Amino acid sequence: MVVRVAVAGASGYAGGEVLRLLLAHPEVEIGALTANSNAGQPLGALQPHLVPLAGRVLEATTPEVLSGHDVVFLALPHGQSAAVAAQLGEEVLVVDMGADHRLQDSADWDKFYGAPHAGTWPYGLPELPGARAVLAGSKRIAVPGCYPTAVSLALFPAYAAQLAEPEAVIVAASGTSGAGKALKPNLLGSEVMGSMSPYGVGGGHRHTPEMVQNLSPVAGQRVSVSFTPTLAPMPRGILATCSAKALPGTTADAVRAAYEKAYADEPFVHLLPEGQWPATASVYGSNAVQIQVAYDEAAQRIIAISAIDNLTKGTAGGAVQSMNIALGLHESLGLSTIGVAP
Amino acid sequence: MVVRVAVAGASGYAGGEVLRLLLAHPEVEIGALTANSNAGQPLGALQPHLVPLAGRVLEATTPEVLSGHDVVFLALPHGQSAAVAAQLGEEVLVVDMGADHRLQDSADWDKFYGAPHAGTWPYGLPELPGARAVLAGSKRIAVPGCYPTAVSLALFPAYAAQLAEPEAVIVAASGTSGAGKALKPNLLGSEVMGSMSPYGVGGGHRHTPEMVQNLSPVAGQRVSVSFTPTLAPMPRGILATCSAKALPGTTADAVRAAYEKAYADEPFVHLLPEGQWPATASVYGSNAVQIQVAYDEAAQRIIAISAIDNLTKGTAGGAVQSMNIALGLHESLGLSTIGVAP
Amino acid sequence: MVVRVAVAGASGYAGGEVLRLLLAHPEVEIGALTANSNAGQPLGALQPHLVPLAGRVLEATTPEVLSGHDVVFLALPHGQSAAVAAQLGEEVLVVDMGADHRLQDSADWDKFYGAPHAGTWPYGLPELPGARAVLAGSKRIAVPGCYPTAVSLALFPAYAAQLAEPEAVIVAASGTSGAGKALKPNLLGSEVMGSMSPYGVGGGHRHTPEMVQNLSPVAGQRVSVSFTPTLAPMPRGILATCSAKALPGTTADAVRAAYEKAYADEPFVHLLPEGQWPATASVYGSNAVQIQVAYDEAAQRIIAISAIDNLTKGTAGGAVQSMNIALGLHESLGLSTIGVAP
Amino acid sequence: MVVRVAVAGASGYAGGEVLRLLLAHPEVEIGALTANSNAGQPLGALQPHLVPLAGRVLEATTPEVLSGHDVVFLALPHGQSAAVAAQLGEEVLVVDMGADHRLQDSADWDKFYGAPHAGTWPYGLPELPGARAVLAGSKRIAVPGCYPTAVSLALFPAYAAQLAEPEAVIVAASGTSGAGKALKPNLLGSEVMGSMSPYGVGGGHRHTPEMVQNLSPVAGQRVSVSFTPTLAPMPRGILATCSAKALPGTTADAVRAAYEKAYADEPFVHLLPEGQWPATASVYGSNAVQIQVAYDEAAQRIIAISAIDNLTKGTAGGAVQSMNIALGLHESLGLSTIGVAP
């Protein structure tokens, strides 16, 4: 099988990462690469790490350029994906790595994004209960946000096992690539090296409703989420520290058992041995998720911590994994659980 | 007034930082500098940034060497301070930057440190209610831990104003100098750069009982603390994200007012203008504390975030500030609110 | 004596650094702070580390705003300083931290900057032979570039002692703040963390003629300079590795003696003890220069390495040091040789 | 073909990296993994990024454990490889990633390592003229040092084309993993972050004679090397800035042509388009070498700059590449030219 793939938005971080993975995918042939302001430039000038594609010239993001592919990955700013997708045939698998089609509730979309809601696509987080069945054969996939990926995988086993109260408190640290290549002063190297800082505090981050959307069905009730993202001085990685008060009668053994059960058969999620904690360096460049969980008896809280690479499992790796499922390929093709460390 | 000061443990990070500050203190004359395994070496070989002291040779940590000073700073591993302090006269001001004399409850000490409790000294966090009166004229000072400094200052106004439930959830990121100069594999540059990782999860960190001790009296009831520290890829700085559920009827205005009231007259604590969030880079090398607070209506939580330099306000700066109060000097002598940035 | 000082370009890195130093200067009162596009904003929003000035509002850079000060520091892009300076009276001390007035040879200016040459001002590198006499009483000062500061101090003793051939080879690593706050993709944190890269290779860097200009008079002949700057993943600091072939008969002792003689009485330049090498962390935030020199017998080359903080001694510290000399103040006022480390 | 491979020294950085690559090698089956002090521990506790091998327990480094494999990689401190290799049969391919068998001249060995010389093995830098022929079918391979790899590839085309004088000046920046996992104070994260510093200045670095050994035969005369290594605040990567005076008559076109000719057919060495310069981030985790060269007319020097990943092409990737050649496999198996960036 040869899957012919185009990438719209190939000059950004998500686009570059999906190309990095697709270059190692045995069934994929890389077709058109498009950009907006960078159209006309060779990819090697913008993504010098993608040596095999260095000579490829970026084209404009048009339906003509994107047509004739089996799969089109959209790595576009939110608000642009829907328009592009509408111009692609229904037989094409469209994988949107942006936010346009993630949320189910249009009111959430309006509140957090403030533009007309483009609709909801099958959600590309295969490890959530029931997700693979929806993804199989689908022609449209909404790739989850990087934070919701890390947080949902850290917390859903506790909710699935009915161990936790429906009020989650989350503090997550992200590498700077999560903010993209946007030229903002606070993203300059001089500003971020040596510094930790929060942003979007108090419920304002756009990934919050996506976490609520993922956890509530598992819990069987609405889960409220207090989410504080922080910017960390590293290019990649998310460390999500998630906790919720334990329901009465919870034990450390029950917590451990819930996580072991949830992830026993997952190829990319690794519950670490007791006593070992996740580190973002361990999943650098890989599609793996490292998780550990503890029960704090004094505070009566379950504390689950996950580490992912925000660009891989958090974006492009999750996208390729979902593509594999949608196309009926082996789920792990082109993906690795081996990080680049130290 | 000339205050003659000795530093025991001058080759470590806390010892080096207190020397950095004392060199800029107009009333201080630096006397003996001692070390353990590094005794006999010139300070310049171990602390090359302290140029004016480069030629000073480290002496052994003995009562003879330390005697004859007005103030002795102890920058020693916990468990060693009590023995040294017992050999110093009662007329000497002893400032212990280690943990030995911080905790009031011997049971806490036994549980978290596992050695005989050396006793409790006046606690060097001047911004806590009533603290300055206890420190004035004192001859023994226990400098708080770096995390408790950041966390207590972030949260106590909410508790003082009776706005929050007594269950605090804290996730803090610390630069690596917080772990000292110990030669451990996980502290190697190759391991920490590009990586965020938690440690001491689930209530096990020794700074937890100190936070409970600081917040409970202010709240008027026992405050439980769920504390997760993380190691961040930067040499200095703590960013503490602290939250607690708001009591019914809490408003954003009431929260803001509580923090404005608490810090209106504090020389080192700066409540940032609304919309601006702390960053550890802003307090690099300074004794300042930057704080911001938000009320998340959806999650009904108060979220207070503080940034300090763990070595300055979190250790040596707090020590010098407390020394100034104890000696009746101006509290800000030798200390700055100006960070080194970018 | 109270020196009233204005800073034009207070929102950038050089402007922020000079303010950081001036806040600690005992004879200085900080007057007007100006900016271009950031005029109207409070300084605290742009330079959050300068807590004592957080509420000061940036004004437009006009002659009216800048008038009435004893000293005006210009932290402007090159090409703008001359126009502003022309509007300031001759009785005002103008300290230009930009490039406009550094070069003596207009042909060099044309070649490397491509605009009309604004003229040459007294050069603010006090440690060069004869420099202090020229600076004393001067009303115009051109602050050297950061690289020429590091390189000239590393190499001139070898040339002054007639030990080296007039062909210098220099490779220097700079922290990212050397490139300023410009919003360029290659300066994003995601790009610079974990990466070393060169730029301006092959003689194209604008600081090259300044090095030639500094070293040639000392050598008594034209010194050619091969200069390769590299961008390092750190916010501050320059490490300059400089070498030249030794003249016949050179010995390691003669090299050492030349450097000891050159820097015996310099307050800010520290020739390290033999065997100890400079590190940029040791001079973080300080005005110190750390230098070490070796004679490689096999390659017959003198290798001199210097470390400075590019923003302090390399820009704003050198500016304040030169101001002190010009005004007849003690040269070290407001400046420190103590780095912030680790 | 199934190649059964053992790794001695699997808990260090070189050992971990060769395992990372071998896990992706389609013809390799990973056999015994050994360690010294870490024997008995699961690999997952020491190399948490190697998820597929997390449960493998490290064995002692004995002939019994290492026997029965087709290939044994030695990732041992220098001085230990010879003893282990002597206990392995001549039919086993032994790939030594340490220094023991690199140098041809025993006098060099004595001078730089000070122990009996173990002898010289075929040298695993396939891109050097004639190297592949020697490696093919060989049963013993000495993997080059990381710096000699970067430097030799940057400079040999200039010498092969007889364009440069035989006096090379090299300044290279290395990530901290080049120093291994040794617990030394100067390798602590607190020390290296934010700092650049040189070491082994003046001809003392052990990689210097290896560079001379590689370049001299190509030049047809002894090439002297002035080599200054510096430690950079990043975990991986080497940026080598190499220059030599051009012989009379050299032109920029001739220099460019020499490098184009040298690397036209090399799968892992990429001469960048003119105007684009190497960055270590671009080769992060890959076996690629990025090279650019310039001719500085004013200084009459050829400046060649290379970027490699010190652990991949500089150690383990070079080892696997050489193994492939020795075994008659496709040279690129298990290796990639795609970096992990940003």
The string of DSSP letters for C18-76 reads HHHHHTT-TTEEEEEEEESTTTTSBHHHH-TTBGGGTTPBPEE--HHHHTT-SEEEE--
* D151: CB partners within 8 A, 6+ apart: D168, D170, D172, D207, D211, D214, D225, D227, D240, D242, D306
Nearest to B241 among A228, A297, A299 (CB): A228
Tell me the mean pLDDT in the region A78-88.
Answer: 92
Q: Pull the structure tokens for residue B251.
A: 């408003």
User: What pLDDT shows up at residue B1?
Assistant: 75
3-state secondary structure B173-219: EECHHHHCCCCCHHHEHHHHCCCCEECCCCCCCCCHHHHHHHHHHHH
Q: Classify each residue of D193-208 as buried b or exposed e, where b means 16 or more C-beta atoms within 10 Å of its C-beta.
A: bbbbbbebbbbebbbb
Q: Strand, coil or helix: what is A183? A: coil
Contact C188 A188 (CB under 8 A): yes
Contact D230 C243 (CB under 8 A): no
Contact B51 C285 (CB under 8 A): no
**Rounded Cα gap, residues B43 and C264, in angstroms:** 20
Nearest to D237 among C196, C298, C303 (CB): C196
Tell me the mean pLDDT in the region D188-215.
Answer: 95
The answer to whether B300 and B294 have CB atoms below 8 angstroms apart is: no
A199 confidence band (pLDDT: 50, 70, 90) = very high
Among candidate residues D247, D213, D248, the one with its CA nearest the CA of residue D227: D213
Among candidate residues B205, B223, B204, the one with its CA nearest the CA of residue B214: B223
Tell me the mean pLDDT in the region D321-329.
Answer: 98
Q: How many CB atoms lie within 10 A of CB D302?
A: 32
For residue C204, give the chain D residue with the closest CA.
Answer: D296
Q: Pull the structure tokens for residue A282.
A: 């361990």
Q: How many CB pairs under 8 A join B and D?
A: 64
Is 80 exceeded by the pLDDT of residue A287?
Answer: yes
For residue A288, give the chain D residue with the closest CA.
Answer: D51
A164 confidence band (pLDDT: 50, 70, 90) = very high
**Rounded Cα gap, residues C318 and C143, in angstroms:** 7
Q: How many CB pairs under 8 A join C and D?
A: 167
* B336: CB partners within 8 A, 6+ apart: B24, B285, B286, B287, B288, C24
Chain A positions touching D50 (Cβ under 8 A) are: 338-339
Straight-line distance from the first to the last Cα atom of chain C, in angstroms, rounded to the nearest whole number:
36
Write down the ipTM of this complex: 0.97
C203 confidence band (pLDDT: 50, 70, 90) = confident
Nearest to A226 among B235, B281, B301 (CB): B301
**Rounded Cα gap, residues C165 and C168, in angstroms:** 8
Active-site residue (options: A75, A146, A168, A212): A146
Contact D301 C169 (CB under 8 A): yes
Nearest to B235 among D179, D193, D235 (CB): D193
Chain A positions touching D336 (Cβ under 8 A) are: 24
**Rounded Cα gap, residues A88 and A93, in angstroms:** 9
The residue among C184, C191, C192, C197 with the most chain D CBs within 10 A of its CB, best to mutate, is C197
Would you give the DSSP letter of residue D223? P
- DSSP track, B302-332: EEEEEEE-TTIIIIIHHHHHHHHHHHT--TT
What Å distances lie between residue B66 and B6, B45, B321, CA to CA? 6, 22, 21
Q: Name the residue type at position A331.
A: E
Contact A284 D336 (CB under 8 A): no
For residue C244, give the chain D residue with the closest CA.
Answer: D169
Tell me the mean pLDDT in the region A143-155.
Answer: 98
Q: Pull the structure tokens for residue C90.
A: 């001759």
The answer to whether A145 and A335 have CB atoms below 8 angstroms apart is: no
Contact A284 D338 (CB under 8 A): no
Residue C222 burial class via C-beta count within 10 angstroms: exposed 0-12, middle 13-18, buried 19 and up: exposed
**Rounded Cα gap, residues C254 and D169, in angstroms:** 22
Helix D208-219 vs helix D146-160: angle between axes, to the nearest 10 degrees?
A: 20
- B271-284 confidence digits (pLDDT tens): 999 999 999 999 99
Q: How many CB atoms lie within 10 A of CB A130?
A: 10
Contact A234 B195 (CB under 8 A): yes
**What mean pLDDT is reported for chain D?**
97
Q: Name the residue type at position B302.
A: I
Q: How far is B340 from chain D (nearest CA, A)?
A: 13
**What mean pLDDT is reported for chain A?**
97
In the sheet that holds C164-174, the strands lie side by side as C197-198, C224-231, C164-174, C238-246, C301-308, C289-296, C269-271
Q: If you search the block for the tokens 């010009």, which residue do you land on?
A: C326
Tell me the mean pLDDT in the region A150-157.
Answer: 98
Sort strands A289-296 and A301-308 into parallel, antiparallel or unpaired.
antiparallel
Sort strands D301-308 and D238-246 into parallel, antiparallel or unpaired.
antiparallel
User: What pLDDT shows up at residue B204?
Assistant: 83
- B66-110 confidence digits (pLDDT tens): 999 999 999 999 889 999 999 999 999 999 999 999 999 999 999
Sort strands B93-96 and B71-74 into parallel, antiparallel or unpaired.
parallel
Contact D190 B235 (CB under 8 A): yes
Nearest to D338 among A13, A49, A290 (CB): A49
- D87-120 confidence digits (pLDDT tens): 999 999 999 999 999 999 999 999 999 878 999 9
Contact C276 B50 (CB under 8 A): no
Q: Where are the alpha helices (DSSP H) in A1-127?
A: 13-22, 43-46, 63-66, 81-86, 106-113
The residue among B25, B51, B282 with the most chain C CBs within 10 A of its CB, best to mutate, is B51
The answer to whether B30 and B5 have CB atoms below 8 angstroms apart is: yes
Tell me the mean pLDDT in the region C90-111.
Answer: 96
Nearest to C338 among B52, B270, B290 (CB): B52
The answer to whether C34 and C22 have CB atoms below 8 angstroms apart is: no
**Rounded Cα gap, residues A194 and A191, in angstroms:** 8
D204 confidence band (pLDDT: 50, 70, 90) = confident
Q: Pull the structure tokens for residue D109.
A: 């060995």
Q: Strand, coil or helix: what is D278? A: coil
Q: How many CB atoms lie within 10 A of CB C280?
A: 29
Contact B201 A239 (CB under 8 A): no
Is 80 exceeded by the pLDDT of residue D1?
Answer: no
Is 90 exceeded by the pLDDT of residue A203?
Answer: no
The answer to whether B143 and B94 have CB atoms below 8 angstroms apart is: no
**Touching chains, D (3+ CB pairs < 8 A):** A, B, C
- C218-233 confidence digits (pLDDT tens): 999 999 999 999 999 9
* CA A135 to chain CA centroid, nearest Å: 15
Q: How far is A145 from chain D (nearest CA, A)?
A: 18
**What mean pLDDT is reported for chain C?**
97
Q: If you search the block for the tokens 């971080």, which residue do you land on?
A: A13
User: What pLDDT shows up at residue C1?
Assistant: 76
* CA D47 to chain CA centroid, nearest Å: 21
Would you give the DSSP letter of residue A237? -
Is 90 exceeded by the pLDDT of residue C204?
Answer: no
Straight-line distance from the first to the last Cα atom of chain A, in angstroms, rounded to the nearest whole number:
36
Contact C193 A176 (CB under 8 A): yes
Nearest to B226 among A230, A235, A299 (CB): A299
Cα angle value B9/B13/B17 (rounded, 5°) = 90
Chain B positions touching D49 (Cβ under 8 A) are: none
* B283: CB partners within 8 A, 6+ apart: B237, B289, B290, B307, B308, B309, B312, B313, B339, C49
Chain C positions touching B285 (Cβ under 8 A) are: 285, 340
C25 confidence band (pLDDT: 50, 70, 90) = very high
| Residues of C annotated catalytic, as ranges | 146
Percent of chain B at pLDDT exceeding 90: 97
Contact A48 D338 (CB under 8 A): no
**Rounded Cα gap, residues A175 and B41, in angstroms:** 40
Q: Name the residue type at position C308.
A: I
For residue C178, give the chain A residue with the closest CA.
Answer: A190
| Residues of B annotated catalytic, as ranges | 146
Largest pairwise CA distance in chain C: 63
* CA C120 to chain CA centroid, nearest Å: 16
Residue C124 burial class via C-beta count within 10 angstroms: exposed 0-12, middle 13-18, buried 19 and up: buried
**Rounded Cα gap, residues C269 and C263, in angstroms:** 6
Q: How far is A50 from chain B (nearest CA, A)?
A: 21
Straight-line distance from the first to the last Cα atom of chain D, in angstroms, rounded to the nearest whole number:
36
Q: Name the residue type at position D138.
A: S
Q: Pull the structure tokens for residue D90.
A: 């001549």
For residue A173, give the chain B residue with the closest CA.
Answer: B196
Q: Where are the alpha helices (DSSP H) in A50-105?
A: 63-66, 81-86
Q: How many CB atoms lie within 10 A of CB A74?
A: 29
Among candidate residues A258, A197, A261, the one with its CA nearest the CA of residue A229: A197
**Rounded Cα gap, residues C41 and C31, in angstroms:** 16
Q: How far is A168 from chain D (nearest CA, A)?
A: 28
The residue among D49, D184, D186, D193 with the most chain B CBs within 10 A of its CB, best to mutate, is D193
For residue C190, give the chain D residue with the closest CA.
Answer: D342
| Segments in chain B below pLDDT 70 | none
For residue A298, give the chain B residue with the closest CA.
Answer: B203
User: What pLDDT shows up at residue A204?
Assistant: 83
Among candidate residues D77, D83, D78, D72, the one with its CA nearest the CA of residue D140: D72
Q: Name the residue type at position C30.
A: I
Tell me the mean pLDDT in the region D205-229.
Answer: 97
Strands in B97-139 per DSSP E: none
Beta-bridged to residue B242, according to DSSP, are B170, B304
Contact A187 C192 (CB under 8 A): no
Among candidate residues B7, A272, B191, C202, the one with its CA nearest the CA of residue D295: C202
Would you give the DSSP letter of residue A105? -
User: What pLDDT shows up at residue C295?
Assistant: 97
Residue B291 burial class via C-beta count within 10 angstroms: exposed 0-12, middle 13-18, buried 19 and up: buried
